[in-house]
Structure 1
Amino acid sequence: MTTDSQQVCGVLLAAGTSTRFGAKNKLLEPIDGVPLVRRSAATLVEAGLTPLIAVVGHESVQVRDALDGLDFEIIENESYPEGQATSVRAAAQVLTERDTVDAAVFALGDMPYVSVATIRSLVSAYEAGEGTALAAAYEGVRGNPVLFDRQHFQALGEVDGDTGGKAVFKGADQHSLVETDDPGVRIDIDTTCDLDTERPDQS
């Protein structure tokens, strides 16, 4: 998404191994006939974010195929077995080199119910100066996606473990929750049972 002075990139983290899901790759499981990861990706597209980056790893060929036709630059993360932080680092290192990108929304490939309105709310809050690290929330509880100003890209490029950018978010001087009416910001698909969870209404 580009405004008169700010460009907000969309980052999709889609490299995980789906260990809790069983033998199948959860990102490739269909929801209403559409691969889960493609639904997550389409939200970033429809929100108007640009450029778009997807970090892939586990079964990367199949995940690439699921994203075919969407305008994503694909980054291969060969270190994906070491945890989500490796994907955050891979994306952040690319973003650091993009001088025109002012901020990035980091979204998870296994969260297909986040609404387009939520992404736009994060960007609007950023443009209004509400913080340099902003996380979507529902009923006062933090969820995903999370928006980071470029001042945090270097720190994101140095994270470790399997917690992604949580430490960077909490350590930011200007971090804040952006309240939404979107339960999708707290629904991720970890097990086959999660696919049967009641789906939130999306707008």
Structure 2
Amino acid sequence: MKKENQNIVTVVLAAGASTRMRSPKQLLNWGNSTLLEHTLNTVLELNSSEVVVVLGANFEIIQSEISKYPVTVLNNTSWKVGLGKSIAVAVEYIQKLNYKVDGVMIVLADQPLIDSRFLGELCNAFNPNNNQIITTSYKNGKRGVPVIFDKYYFEELMLLNDDDGAKTLLKTYANSVNSLKPQFENLDIDSKEDYNYLHKEIFKK
């Protein structure tokens, strides 16, 4: 669970078209719900200041499926530009909030192995007003999402406009980056094969 004195807004990126899936990846079955709902249930356990979901492709269909959740849904109409644009849309919204925000935590909707305990560890490693970036460490040495950015980086995050997400900031501000390694292998579901493999592993009969 995160520190009580933190005002971190959690952003779930779910705007992609899932062209390799032939159907919205966000709505693939996962347990008793969908992939996106599983992610929402995970992040809502943190009691963040607010949970923002960025949709794009298949907006109406997906929005109707998550209407019962206490989240703010944004429509990234430029979703084809890539992940960076979704981050920019979310941070632009956060900048207009009428309460103090210390940072933003960015989570993907297609990493179902991420749990609330690990997200809580990221939050606990984050100290506001220190220009910190807290990333997730992968076994190949790469650093990425889930990630927390201090509000110091909001102006630059709003300028993102490609499919590299915030990788450029991680390189530019490498000295400000701290990484945590989860106790599990964090996998993305990028293809039907990925989905079938993970689903079988997690929901073995």
TM-score tier after normalising by the smaller chain length: 0.7 to 0.9
Unmatched segments (≥5 aa) in structure 1: none
- The one-letter code of the counterpart of 1:97 is K
Matched-pair contact (CA < 8 Å) for 2:129–2:150: no
Q: Which residue of 2 aligns with 1:134?
A: 134
SS at 2:62 equivalent: helix
Unmatched segments (≥5 aa) in structure 2: none
- The one-letter code of the counterpart of 1:127 is N
SS at 1:134 equivalent: strand
Q: Which residue of 1 aligns with 2:15?
A: 15
CA-to-partner distance for each residue in 1:87-139, whole Å, 9 max, x for gaps? 01100111122341111110011112211111101100003888611112244
Q: Which residue of 1 aligns with 2:188?
A: 188
Go from structure 1 to structure 2 and tell me whether the alpha carbon gap of 1:200 and 1:110 turns closer, same or farther (over 3 Å shift): same
- Which of 168, 173, 176 is matched with 1:174 structurally? 176
1:20 deviates by 2.2
**TM-score computed with the length of structure 2 as normaliser:** 0.87
The 5 Å alignment of 1:48-63 reads: 48-63=47-62
- In the alignment of these two chains, the number of paired residues is 197
Matched-pair contact (CA < 8 Å) for 1:7–1:100: yes
1: distance between equivalents of 2:122 and 2:190? 25
Matched-pair contact (CA < 8 Å) for 2:137–2:179: yes
Q: Which residue of 2 aligns with 1:31?
A: 30
2: distance between equivalents of 1:17 and 1:61? 13
- The one-letter code of the counterpart of 2:191 is T
1: distance between equivalents of 2:155 and 2:20? 31
The 5 Å alignment of 1:1-203 reads: 3-4=4-5, 6-21=6-21, 23-98=22-97, 99-127=99-127, 132-139=132-139, 141-172=142-173, 173-183=175-185, 186-198=186-198, 199=201
Matched-pair contact (CA < 8 Å) for 2:3–2:124: no
Go from structure 1 to structure 2 and tell me whether the alpha carbon gap of 1:35 and 1:136 turns closer, same or farther (over 3 Å shift): same
Go from structure 1 to structure 2 and tell me whether the alpha carbon gap of 1:2 and 1:66 turns closer, same or farther (over 3 Å shift): farther
- The CA RMSD measured in Å over matched residues stands at 2.2
1: distance between equivalents of 2:138 and 2:130? 17
Go from structure 1 to structure 2 and tell me whether the alpha carbon gap of 1:134 and 1:100 turns closer, same or farther (over 3 Å shift): same
